[in-house]
Amino acid sequence: MKKLYGLLGERLGHSLSPQIHSILFDTLDIEAYYHLFEVRKENLRDALYGLKALGVRGINVTIPYKVEVMKYLDDISEEVRKIDAVNTIHFINGKAIGYNTDYYGFGTLLDNYNVNIKNRKAIVLGTGGAAKSVVQYLNDNGAKEIILVSRDEFNKKEWLRNFKVISYDKICELQEELDIIINCTPCGMYPNIIDSPVCKQDISKFKIAIDLIYNPEQTVFLNYAKQLGIKAINGRYMLIGQAIKAQEIWNSVKIKSQTIKYINNRLISK
């Protein structure tokens, strides 16, 4: 019988995950199917217990449930302890174990574009779940300074306590030399593709611009960076990287590093 995996979220219509995991199942020679589980908030608990009871092997979790699912888990991994958000669950031996593979996916993206963050100064736009994974990765890997940008500079989220948080209108006032700007907001994502979280002038201060958004492939934010001659990177390798890490967890395997490019090419050709 085919093994069952899937993605749990509220609205999943445009997800690329089934395509990516289907390529990974072929690569790993696993007979499996990846299903989109659209679940309403009031049914989240029942859905999770149901998936476990039905023998589903593993799921990814997306907006808006990455934090909410944590109370239904039996255990969490080391990175989840730091990030407090789960995007991958492994159902094993009657237990549900939570992981955060966005953290590793972001690392995969940096590695594949040869972006070294050690001693670099980064600005992170947004203070949601993805921003938290990105900031943790930057912190764990030697970034020199991390500044968060929020629509509310007095943002009271507990994890922001140790960081400098500024509002968007203060970016242009930053005097120091800056390296990387990372968009961790949904601003510019399909269908709102004409939006950008910052103006072109703000991006001109940086050497590298990263947008976690992968749909569209080139957001207005990345377009500005390109026009300015700045290295512009979208979130596609992060998406593929987090999926690869999830498969490694679910199937106790190590997937070759070149698989990321193979998947990326297959996605382009569709």
Any idea which residues carry the catalytic annotation? 66
Residues 6+ apart with CB under 8 A from 42: none
C-beta separation of 130 from 147 below 8 A: no
Binding to ligand NAP by CB under 6 A, coded x per residue (else -) over 232-261, reads ---x--xx--x-------------------
Question: 153 to 182, contacts with ligand NAP by CB under 6 A?
Answer: 155
Size of the residue set binding ligand NAP (CB under 6 A) = 26
DSSP state at residue 68 = G
Q: Which of 60, 112, 127, 247 lies at the binding interface for ligand NAP (CB under 6 A)?
A: 127
Neighbours of 264 (CB within 10 A): 17
Q: Select 52 or 100, whichever has its Cβ closest to ligand NAP.
A: 100
* Among the residue ranges 148-156, 202-210, 217-225, 252-260, the one whose residues contact ligand NAP (CB under 6 A): 148-156
Instruction: For residue 260, report the phi and psi dihedrals to the nearest 5 degrees.
Output: -60, -40
Binding to ligand NAP by CB under 6 A, coded x per residue (else -) over 177-206, reads -------xxxx-x-------x---------
In angstroms, rounded to a whole number, what is the distance separating the alpha carbons of residues 178 and 223? Answer: 19
Q: Which of 11, 81, 151, 226 lies at the binding interface for ligand NAP (CB under 6 A)?
A: 151
Counting contacts by CB under 6 A, is residue 210 touching ligand NAP?
A: no
Please report how close the Cβ of residue 265 comes to ligand NAP at its closest, in angstroms.
18
In angstroms, rounded to a whole number, what is the distance separating the alpha carbons of residues 217 and 191? Answer: 13
For 246, the 3-state DSSP assignment is helix
What is the amino acid identity at position 114? N
Question: 61 to 100, contacts with ligand NAP by CB under 6 A?
Answer: 63
List beta partners, residue 88: 60, 99
In angstroms, rounded to a whole number, what is the distance separating the alpha carbons of residues 38 and 6? Answer: 10
Which residues contribute to the site for ligand NAP (CB under 6 A)? 63, 102, 105, 126-131, 150-152, 155, 184-187, 189, 197, 212-214, 235, 238-239, 242
